[in-house]
Every structure is written in C-alpha cells, then in structure tokens.
Structure 1
C-alpha cells in the first residue's frame, strides 16, 4: 500500500544533546573530521545506514540511545568541545579579517563588505545532491574555502527537487537514469522565514499575467550562507512548480525560466536575506558561468526604480560584477531564441520598466560569425561585467580567442579576460589518513593551516616524512579502495540482475599491491573515456602483465540526452565485463562526491586524456594529487600550467589542425601505452636498496610538496579577492550616480565621435632598417581626434617581435605624450621614446584607445584606431 503523504518525524533531543542539531545543520561537518567522528559515535550502524548524513542520523537514532548519550558525561564533554570549536570558527577572525584591518590601517580602498556568488549548481556534500559535475564541485569548494578564509560570501543557487540523476546500468551496460525525489525537510536546510513566521518568497512575473513564486532555503556552509530558491510551492501552477524540478533538464523555455529565477530571483533572494538577517549588502556580484547572467538586469532595474537612466545603471552594475567562464567551446554555452527571451521581458512580463530591445542587445551575437537570432548567456555575462576570467592560464587564452569578436580591432591576447586557475578544497578531498600523517609530522593546527591557507613552508615538511611511512600510507589507501570497489561492483551487478551465485568472482577484483589507475569524470565525447580501448590487445597485455600489471577503476555519467556518451560507457562496460580482464578493470556507476572521496586517494595514477585544449581546468587531478596520486595527462587545463616531469607525466598530443581525428586518437593512445609500458610501470615496481620503490616515493613526495600549495581552493579564493573582488568593490564605490551618469555620457560621446579618430603620420629619428640592442628611437606621431580631446584618448606605441606575417608578438604598449596641437587642420602631435629591448625582427605600430579613469581596460569599449595600410607601408614599421 502506497502512502499519500510523507512526513519526517524527528526525535526531541534531550537538553544536553541540543548542540547536535546546530552541528548537523552547519555543513562544516562535511569537511571537519572531528565533528564527523562525533556523529559516528552517536550510533555507528545508524551513521552508516544514513549515508553519513547527520540530519538523517538524528532522524533515525532510537530515543533510548539518545537518552544514554545524554547521561554519558564523556560524550557530553566531546559535544560541548565540538560546539565551542564551531562557535570559534564562526566568529573568530580569519585571513580576510586580518587583510581588511591591514588595508584599513594603510587607508586603502578596502575589501568588499560582502560578495554574492551565483552558480546553477553547488557540490557541498553528498548529503545535499545539487550538483552534476566539475562546475558544481568547484562552486562548493569556492564556498568552503571562502568560509575557511573568512570571506563574507553569500552563495545563491536553485534547489532541485530531483537533483541530478542517479545512474545505474542495464544488463548490457546501457546507462539508466533515476530521479529520486528530495524532501527539503530531510536535507541539511532551514526555511528562511519573514518576521511574522511565514516563509520568505520571491516572485517573478510571467507572460499572460502569471507569476512564478519561489521560497528560500538556507544551507549554512561554515560561515557562508547558501540561498537555494525552490519553485515547488502550493501557490504556483503545476508548470511553475516544476521549474526547479531537476538540474539541466527540460527544453529551452524551462532552462530560460530556471536561469531567470537564478539571476533575477537570486538578487531578490539576497535582498530578502540581508533584510531579515542584517547581513551586509554585497558590493560585488560574481556569476559562475552565464546561467546567472540575468542578475545584472535585475540590478539595473533596481537602479532604474531609484531614478537612474538605463545607461548609467548599466555602468554602475558593470563596475561591481565579476564573470567567470568555464567553457572552452561555444557549444557549451546556453543560447536562447531571441523571440523566446523577448516574450519573457518587458510589459506584461518581467522587468517591464526596461525596454526589451535593450535586454536583447546585451545578449545578441552581434559580431562576425555570430547567430543574429540567438541570445547568448555568456555574451550577456561579459557585457554586464567589468571583470571576467577563465579558470586556468590556458583556458584564459582560449576564452580570449573565443570571445574576441566582442572586442573588434584587438588581438586576442588583449581581450580583457584574465584567468584564475581553479583550486580544490583540501579538507574535503584529503583522506583522513593523509591528514593524520601530516599532523604527526607538523601538528594538527599547522596541517589545517597548510590545507586551508596554504604556504609552501608548511608543505616543505613533506620532505622529512620517511619513505616507509609514505609507502605504507599509499598501500593503506589502495587497500581501502579495493574494498570500496568490490562493494560497489557487487551492488551494481545486483542492479543489473545478477544473482549471488554469479558474483563469487568479485572477491578477486583488484589487488592492493597492483598499480592502480583512476579515470572518473563526466562523459562528453571530448574527454575520451574510451581512448584507453584503442588497442585492446595492448591494453590487455598491460592489465595482465605477469610482473608489472596495472588495474583501472573508471566512473562517470553521460548527460541523459547524450546517447553518444552512453555508447562510450557501454563500450567500456562491455570490455570490463570480459572474464579475462574483469578482475583488473571495473566501471563503477553513479559517480558522485561520496565515491570520489575514496577513489582519488586510493589510486596511484590519475588519468586525463581530453582533446586539447577543450579541458577548461580539470580539477579531479588536483584532488588526486593532494593524496599523493601522480597525474598522467594531456597538457590541458591546469596540467598545462603546472606539469613538471619530477611529479608526473604528460601524454604527447597530435592536435595539429590537419590531423585526422581517428589518426590523432591512435597516436595519442599509443603514446599513453608507451608511457605505461616504458616509464610508469617500471618505476612503480622497481625496488631500491631498502626494498621500497624509492623513485616512485620521491615523485609522491614532490607531488605533495610542490603541487600541494598550488592546487588549493584557498589559493584560488585569495586570488579572486585580491585580483577581482577588491578592484570590483573599489570600482563599485567610485561609481556613484554622478560618476555613472558621467561615464555613460562619455562613452556615448566617444562612440559617436570615433569614426573621426585616425593616425595620420608616424616618423622616427632614423631611416635605417637596422638598429642596435639597447638603443632608443624617438617617435613622433600626428593624430586626428575629430571631436574628441587628448583627455578622451591614449595614444600608444606598441612594439615587440614580429612573426612571418608581420604581426607583433609579446607586445609592449607605451603611452606617448601630447606635445602640441591642434594645428590648423585640427591634428595633434604626440611624442615618446621607443626602446629597442630585444634582438631579431622587431616591429612597432601606433594606436589610439579611448581613455577614462573609470575604465578597467583600454579595450573595454572595443574601439581602436591604427595606421592605415598605406601609412604602414610608407612608414616601414619594421626593423631587422
């Protein structure tokens, strides 16, 4: 018989145990081992059965057991200590507070009072399944690191009632999707309420006079509040209730409504939260990918409601907005039909006080190669943010190239998109055994500081850990993974329809003394799940080598609509089902945080073989590295930036433009096999005089000491604070209504006058085509500024080496100074020295850019004037 309604009945905690509720509701437990140990001791069996979720644990533990614990003075003392520790963590000064005081003493502009961080998904813990992959895990790690550092962040996302799908396999290895219903009352969430006790809500207007309502759930992520908007409320019609049904589900209109709720509704949720709690209003808004881009429109509308015109409001909003792009390909960006977007804005819909055409212009692909009828969320994100970044050094370059059409006239390397390389939250991803080894070496507090704040001095102590301790640790972690894999594999085969009598072979799957390779990620085609299968005979020989075998653990989910990805999984599963190799290669379904936290530490090698340069960052290898796992990867994402041969291997690539895709995959797979056969397996299995693989252990040691401080989310968040949040806050404060109005009027005037701006004449003090290193040319330029004045522009000399097509590379720009004008023809003279500071073919040119104190970049307007081809030819702007 099926229940018509489901309720959660919680026991009443005895008074001495009341702090357990606060500890369970703050997700710091998900990365704080001592708190988790406390909950485990409440009832070990219930703890395991609850999926290590404190909220579910407290809802399931028998009242008799709670009564026993209330009388257990030792447990009550432990509980009081844990509660005191959480209180100190929540209220004490951390890195951000010390930085803020230092800036105040230096009388600098100061750090932002608060930052709002928007993302479509957040991977905090398996107990709150609101993530699909790397974007969400990165967002969760960003919040946790901000909490550890004391950064006053407010997270904003959606609460998906089905989360992302759960994955299983059919008997023939085809991915099956399941969408379990999540009850917010069974999650570590608190409903945000108005002062009268009613649930707080935000409303969005829909076409046809309808309304979309959402209530607000609060997840406390350490010091950081995370607001999750939930449209499953009784006041909504059935269609509107389903807006937040599942992550990345539904058609275009469904996704558009999700992104309107995230962006527009998210800003309203932040305002509601700050009003109800007294939290400081954000000075900076950070959108993690384009899904939340509509937040800028809502903030513009807020200013328009206070009397601002649209253009000044746009400038004010841009000043305090940061946009992070994660995709390296246009196909990865959400794009909507122009008419669909137009229908949801303007009179009779949302933001009626903003002209629909203004909304559309922010997202239209009005550049060469763009689709004129598509509204691009990333393009809108870039137009609404004065500061933007990619997520690795290589990805920053890829992003500048991909979006260069928004800044015509500028080379890709001058497009104003910087990069902050992702990091991972070490306390979440480092195995307890690794932490204990570090604590034994340098103490608990210094180990915690090393994992959160960083600092290479703390990581240098890895050099003093004995070889035998490192090797024992690695074997222990490998052994734990073997146990985990067998349990999950047995459960998977039962789901596939196998009976107990068929599964005896699973007891022999994997070996704790065999070199273990891990490969786990989403399964789009570019990540090449099946590259390892290109030569199955060669792979089989590696797996079954009599002296140097390898074993491989694979996991990953394909998007429900991606049949190509599902076929890749099926191909891998069918290979892993072969009785000849099934004890050496396994596929584990339902990859998620809980699995990952065992998988990363237990592997010796982390494999990554995407098509270069399509991996924006790829943080799974960072998590593995923090546990002493060595990376074997294509030089893409973060590995391109930080690879060194003393702590890993680079898979050679054949990514030339003319390479046939099949031929490229064959070449790169062969290179991977060569690495494994000739360099990796011999090093793992060779033994030094002590009987240990000392060269392998040294690579583990270098991975920890050299990569450890770099891959931390703490390092990443500090970079965001120093390079993006602090400048954005300063720009926000400078953009008062008068300044915003003045900047908007100036931009309008400059755009209108720019066709009249030109470089008329360039001359130097020499007519020769050669010069000596270290010498200086005297450069004199005559420019026509039309209706503009010298204060409106900057005239620059741009110099550097030139390639075979006379394009300047490694360019250096130096401003020239006005020395006279206007002459009778209205032209201005500029002069300046040009240092010849490098040998070889050298070139220079001159350009004019708009200049204003409130611009973050000279390229911001996408306007530039350069010499005509005739002038270049006449001036001969090359030297050899």
Structure 2
C-alpha cells in the first residue's frame, strides 16, 4: 500500500560532525572535488546509491557509522580543512571585491544584480533544468560566486522537475515525473522573524489568490531563490502552478511566468529585507520567461508616485535582457485576451491600464501577429540593454527583431552579444584537473579555470599545457574513454531492463564499445533543427564507418524530446532502432535520461564532439565548450560559438548547404555526405595515425591546441566578467541616474520628441565636390582617396532644439543596390539657424578614406545623455532622394 504522506527522518549529527551539514547545504560541493571526496568517505556505498547527493547521504548514514566518524581523528582533520576552505572561499576577497576589472576604479560597480531564469542547472541533486538554458544559468551563478559578483538568482521550484526519460521496447520515449520533496533537497525555507515561511502573493482572475513560499539554495556566495506554489493555503489549481518545468497549457505557462517575474521581484524584496542584502541595482532577464519582472518594478515606482512613463524609463535603465533563441517558434507567445484577463483591476497590477501592459508585448510591426503577446518583445521593450549569446546569434537576433526599430539597418539594432561560457570546475574531469595541477600548480590551475582572463596573465597558464608529455596526454585520454565505456555499459544494461529485456538476453552489453576506438559524442535536446538523425542519412556509409576493419568509430548519443514533441520522439525512436541492430549495437548506443550526471561522464570520455544543427539556428551550443575543456575535439557546423572561434588547428567544420535555393532534403543529403567524408578522410585517419612511439602525435597536438586556445575563451568566468563590465555596470549607472525626478524629465523628453518627430526632416544636402574631385584627367571627375568632402545640410527640427538631436552623415562602400556597407557615422554640427522657416544649417567634413564605389546619406536621430543607443527610440529622419545627388561615387 502507498503512504499518504512522505517525509525524511534524519539522524542527529554528533557535534564534531556538524560542519558536514553546512558543507552539504552549500552547493559549492558540486564543483569542489575535495568536498565531494570527503562526503564519499562518509559512506562510499551510500554515496553511490544517492547519486553523489550529500543531503540525501546524510539522511541515510547509520548512527554507528556517524559515531565512528566522530572519533576518527584523520577524518575530522579532513572535515576541518574542508570547512575552513569553504569559509575562506565565502569571506575572502575575489575579483569583484578587488575591482580588478577593465572599468576605472571610479566607476562604482553594482551593489547587487538580480538574475532571473525559468530554470537552473546547478547539480543533478537539484533537478530544476531541462537543457542548455538552465545549465547556462547554473554556470552563470557558479562563475559569479567564484568572482565574488553580488548576484541573487531567482527561479521557480518545480515539484516534478522536468521529467525522467526511459524507452519502451519499441524505442519510444517514456516520461516519468518523480515527486521532489524540498526537505530532501539542498534547500532551506526563507522565514520571517516570527518563524513563518516568507510568502509572496499574486492576484488571479476571479478573485483567486496565488501564494508561493520562497526556498533558498546557496550556490557558493550566491543565493538562489526558488518560488514554490505547492502550499496548503492555495486551491488545487494554484498549488499546481509550479508542478512541472515547461508543462501545461497556455494559461498554466502564463501563470508560471507571472510568478517568476512579478513574484520573483517580490521574493527579492523579501530576501533583502530579511537578510540585509543590498537591493539590486540591475535586473537581468535570462530569456523572455521572466519578462514580467519589469511590470512589477513599474508598479513599485507608481506606488512611490511616478507615472507610468517615468516608471518605464527608470525600469528600462536598470534592466538587461538576454535572448537565447534564434527561432521565432521558440518564444513564448500568449493570446492577447488571456494576458488582458490576468491584469488590471480584476487581476495583477491594479491601477495600471491593461492596454499599457499589452502594448509592451504586442507584435505591432510588419509581419507580426496582431493578437499575440510576445514575451521576447516585452523583454526588449522593458530593457535598455539586450544581447544574444554568440556573435553570430547577436547578428541573427538583430535581424529577427529589426521590426521593433523601423528605419534602422539590422546591424544598428541595439542588441549586442556576449558569447556564453561554461563553468570549468563543474565540467572538467578530476583526472584532467590533476594533470593540469601537476603542470602549473593546484592553486593556479583552480584560479585559471574559475576566472580565465587572458588579459590578466591566465593565457600563460593555459599555454603551459604545451609542456605535458604526449604519453601522459594519451594515457589520460584512454583512461577517460575507458571510464565512459564502463558507464555506458552500466546505463545501457539498466535501460534494456526497463525496456523489458531479461538478464539472459543481455550478455552482449559487455561487448559494447571499445576503449581503443575513436569515440564520438552527440548529446542535446531533440528539436528538429538540431538534427539528431543526420548521421543516419546514408546508413550504408555509416555502417562502413562503424565497422571499418582498421579505423572504426563508435558513437554515444543522448537527448530528450519535449513531452509534447512527437516529432522529436520519432527521431529518437529512429536512432534507437538503428542502434538496436545486432550488427552495430556494439558501436552505437543511445542512452536515455540525459542530464548533468551523464554529461559529466560523457564530455571527458569522448574524442570528438559532434554538433550538426541547421545553421544559424544554434544560439551558442555550450556542450562543445565543455567537451573542449576535457581535451575533446569539436566536429561541428559553423554555428553558435564554433562559428566564432573555430580554427583548423583544433577541430573540424562541417560544410553547410544553407543557400536559399537548396531544399531541406537536398541540404541534409549534402551536409550528411560532407560529415561522412570528414570522418572517413580526415578525423579517423588522424586518430589512428601513430608515430614512432605508437602515439597519434598530430591528434595529441590538436588536443593541446584545443586546451591552450579555447580554454580561456570558453569559461563562464570570462562571460560573467563581460556581463559585469559591458552590461551590469552601465545598467547600474543608468539606474542611479534616473531617480524619480530625472525619470519624469526623461519620459517627458521622450514624449516631446515623439510628438515632434513627424515634422523633423532633412530638406537639402549640399556637397562641396570641387574640394574632393581629382585633378587627374584620367580620373574623369572621380574623388581622390584621402580627400575631404565638405557637407552642408539643412534640417527642419519640428520645434526641437539642436540638443535634442544628432545629425549624422553615414558613409561607406555601396553595392549595385546602393546599400551602404561597412558604414562610418560622422556627426555634423549646427552652424546657423533657425531661419525664417525654422530650418537649421549643419556642416561637417566627410573623409574619403577608402577606394571603390562609395556613397553616403544623411539622417537625424534623437540624442540624449540617457539614451544607451541612438536607435533606442526607433526614430530616424532621412532625406528624400535629391535629384542633384548621386547615390554613390567612385573613389580611387
């Protein structure tokens, strides 16, 4: 029979062992090998049985074993050392405290930053993630902790997490939703002074109330606040709001995102009030799911006396928005009426007009859906600073959202990029760490992995891998491959047992994979654009690769499809059925239930990491970064981060056939053929090409180059430093500059500019051609390189002052369509005006600094010291084509 209630009965730790509780409750153990080894020593069998979870481990250790440990002087010395190390880590100055960043010391850094994400992948012991977005968020928090950045993480506590995956006999994905008890997780409740759980409340339509308690995880120095709606005071529907990650229908998802954004801000306020933590000066929205946080902050300011426009200006100034998707279908969009029903006097944020809320998310641009509320659009409208997660993704995002800034070319859209990074101490195998420690010293290795700042000298630490002997590198690679083989066999056996196979029919599992065979890994979520089954495109060629008598390859594949994505499930089934074939099942395996635990075995054990998405639909692709830090070589389409940092010295690029004239089936055929050719002609031969010492010297050299060149680039420490210097600090300064009075003035200025803008015009452009035209008769009147073209421009400002605008000449090379590329922008200065018609005269020189077809135009933009980008308001005035002006001119 089933229990009606579940709870844990924990032994009381003897006094000498009390520090174990503190060590278990701070998730730094998840990336600190010495602390994990200490817990393993408590009970090695229990450590394995609990999946390396200290909290669960301490709940199962027998009383006699605890008594023995309390009397074990050697264990107590290790415990004291671990506790002291954690104390030093939490209290000692880090990079942020020393102000050791590129900003001048006078540029005061933010007192605190709030970081909102719908999922966080910190450790498998806290399963609150589905894939790359959550793992990235977890690595962001860990790196912030290592650097001492005063971050506060905010998310939801999902009682069923995402889901556990298994396969049925036919290879079809099965989902399982284990119930998570917060008391059995490394969490503690945030409490009021009288002991009551701290609570946030949201109003729902029909007079309903959504309550949520706040749980806290401690990620090193960084608190992570998780909101939990499964509280007794809620009605059943409200209790289920935080049941599953990315589950339920539209209304369920909307309420989750309202709780994350609006409730999350209220949770941050409660946490700061109860702990004395500094209030955030910058708010970071990791993807659009948390976008409603801006609305709650607007409500706070309106409560303090601001009007909506002033509050919006102040909130935008201190907000950073990161978009992670290059696919419109990957953005949450809600029906307009559904959103309207949840706001206003009968829902949340009473006193704010529903139409003002809706206007922030509606797709009011060409090609937009007029009745859909777009969370990414709201995120961009509520944030003064926005970024993609790789250089290519930044470019894709500017094109994707260009409709929000009409009149501007995509390259001028105010979305920058900060390329993702990964938290090396979490992902680098202990054996790799030990090899690095022997070469450069343990302390220096840990610092380099945590911070990774080439400009600060860490480049030398990574270059030192050149001194590691070939034999040591190759011995390490084989050892890691062998460990992966053992893990694969264990997991494959368990998977087949779940699929219904008996012990007698599974003897073949012991022959699966070979520790001396080139091993390729592929593991990620399974949407169609990631092309899980591209490798199956020509099965005869794949068979040749797998079964080659001299240069065989073996593949380890893992991934989850969303429970509602039958197309993704069919892809998994197709691959599983191929891998079930007795001819190849010793060379290719699919491992279900891909998560952090499997990933930490998979990345180090593979020789090659395969990534073959549809370009440019991979925003970043951080799995390849984690593999690279373990000496695994990348074989990938030039997408995401690989497009940015690929070099032939340390990996391979899969050619793409992404031209507009190529249909998808032919494209996949061409790219699969290119992949097979790379594997057969370049990758496998290099792996098996042995030198005089029996070692693949050229392969080992590529491993070295991977570590030395990519190592400092792919670190989350580098990423977080960029966020601090380029986004958080400017956002904090803008936030400080916009007190209530300044916000009102800035909002009034915006309104005045918008009202006047239809009357702003460039009336006439006059160029002093004689000063630039060559005297050489053979040049036929072309301009001379190095000459200066004087410009005089007459502009109507529609009642605005010259201080409200900037008049620019935009110049550069032009193509056959007269489009300007590689543009330079030169401000012109007012020299006279206004005349009787209210026109102003602007003048300035244009330097002719490049040869070939060259052109220019003139435009007027709003200008204000509090604008982060000239395109921020989406306003621009340009001239009509002047019959006396040529669109382009030839220079030589």
TM-score by structure 2 length?
Answer: 0.98
Contact 1:100 1:111 in 2 (8 A): no
Tell me what 2:776 maps to. Answer: none
Mapped to 1, the partners of 2:23 and 2:156 lie a distance apart of: 24
Q: CA deviation at 1:101?
A: 9.8
| SS of residue in 2 equivalent to 1:817 | strand
Partner of 1:58: 58
Asked whether the equivalents of residues 102 and 725 of structure 2 are also in contact (C-alpha less than 8 Å), the reply is: no
Q: How does 1:780-799 map to 2 (within 5 A)?
A: 780-799=792-811
Cα deviation, residue 779, structure 1: 1.2
Q: Deviations over 1:170-221 (max 9, x none)?
A: 0010000000000101000001100000111000011111100000000000
The corresponding residue for 1:878 is 888
Q: Distance in 2 between matches of 1:687 and 1:363?
A: 59
Query: Aligned-pair distance for 1:2?
Result: 1.5
SS at match of 2:216: strand
8 A Cα contact 2:690 2:696, kept in partner: yes
Q: CA RMSD in A?
A: 0.9
Q: Deviations over 1:762-819 (max 9, x none)?
A: 1111165621221111111111111111011000010111122110011111111111
Q: Which residue of 1 aligns with 2:86?
A: 86
Contact preservation (8 Å) 2:93, 2:148:
yes
Unaligned runs of 5+ in 1: none
What pairs with 1:782-821 in structure 2 (closer than 5 Å)? Answer: 782-821=794-833
Q: Distance in 2 between matches of 1:24 and 1:831?
A: 68
User: Contact 2:491 / 2:591 at 8 angstroms: preserved in 1?
Assistant: yes
Correspondences of 1:708-857 after superposition (within 5 Å): 708-766=711-769, 770-857=782-869
Q: Which residue of 1 aligns with 2:432?
A: 434
Shift, 1:689, TM fit: 2.1
CA distance in 1, matches of 2:694, 2:811: 58
Q: In the alignment, does 2:223 pair up with 1:211?
A: no
State the distance in 2 between where 1:496 and 1:96 align.
51
**Alpha-carbon distance in 1 for matches of 2:794, 2:550:** 76
Picking from 186, 189, 192, the partner of 1:188 is 186
Q: How far off is 1:100 after superposition?
A: 7.0
Task: Determine if contact 2:326/2:616 at 8 Å carries over to the other structure.
Answer: yes
Using the TM superposition, give the Cα deviation of residue 108 of structure 1 relative to its aligned residue in structure 2, in angstroms.
Answer: 2.0
Residue 634 of structure 1: aligned partner: 637
Deviations 1:618-650 (A, max 9, x none): 000000000000000000000000000000000
Tell me by how many angstroms 1:102 deviates.
Answer: 9.4
Task: Report the Cα distance in structure 1 between the residues aligned to 2:206 and 2:553, rounded to whole angstroms.
Answer: 62
Distance in 2 separating the partners of 1:100 and 1:420: 20
Q: Is the 8 A contact 2:101 2:725 kept in 1?
A: no
2: CA distance between counterparts of 1:124 and 1:861?
38
CA deviations 1:581-628 (Å, max 9, x no partner) are: 000000000000000000000000000000000000000000000000
8 Å contact from structure 2 (residues 127, 162) kept in 1? yes
CA distance in structure 2 between the aligned counterparts of 1:257 and 1:754, rounded to whole angstroms = 39
For 2:580, which of 577, 589, 592 is the aligned residue? 577
* Number of matched pairs: 876
Any unmatched runs of 5+ in structure 2? 453-457, 774-780
The 8 Å contact of residues 157 and 266 in structure 1, kept in 2 or not, is answered as yes
Q: How does 1:446-461 map to 2 (within 5 A)?
A: 446-454=444-452, 455-461=458-464
- Helix, strand or coil at the partner of 1:243: helix
- Partner in structure 1 of residue 519 of structure 2: 516
Q: What corresponds to 1:297 in structure 2?
A: 295
Shift of 1:15: 0.2
Say which SS state the counterpart of residue 98 (structure 2) adopts. helix
Single out whichever of 222-231 and 91-100 deviates more from structure 2.
91-100
Which of residues 197, 201, 217 is equivalent to 1:199?
197
Which digits, 9 at most, give the CA deviation of each residue in 1:84-114, with x for residues without a partner? 10001001100000117996xx662310000
Contact 1:452 1:712 (C-alpha < 8 Å) held by counterparts: yes
State the distance in 2 between where 1:362 and 1:752 align.
19
Are residue 77 (structure 1) and residue 77 (structure 2) matched? yes
Secondary structure of residue in 2 paired with 1:594: helix
1:242 is paired with a residue of what secondary structure?
Answer: helix
Secondary structure of the 1:216 match is strand
Corresponding residue number in structure 2 for 1:660: 663
1:9-28 paired onto structure 2 within 5 Å: 9-28=9-28
Matches within 5 A, 1:106-505: 108-454=106-452, 455-505=458-508
If the length of structure 1 is used for normalisation, what is the TM-score?
Answer: 0.99
Query: 1:450 Cα shift?
Result: 1.0
Matched residues in 1 for 2:351 and 2:443: separation?
54
The equivalent of 1:859 in structure 2 is 871
User: Structure 2: how far apart are the matches of 1:668 and 1:295?
Assistant: 43
Q: 2:101–2:721: 8 Å Cα contact kept in structure 1?
A: no
> CA separation in 1, counterparts of 2:206 and 2:107?
47
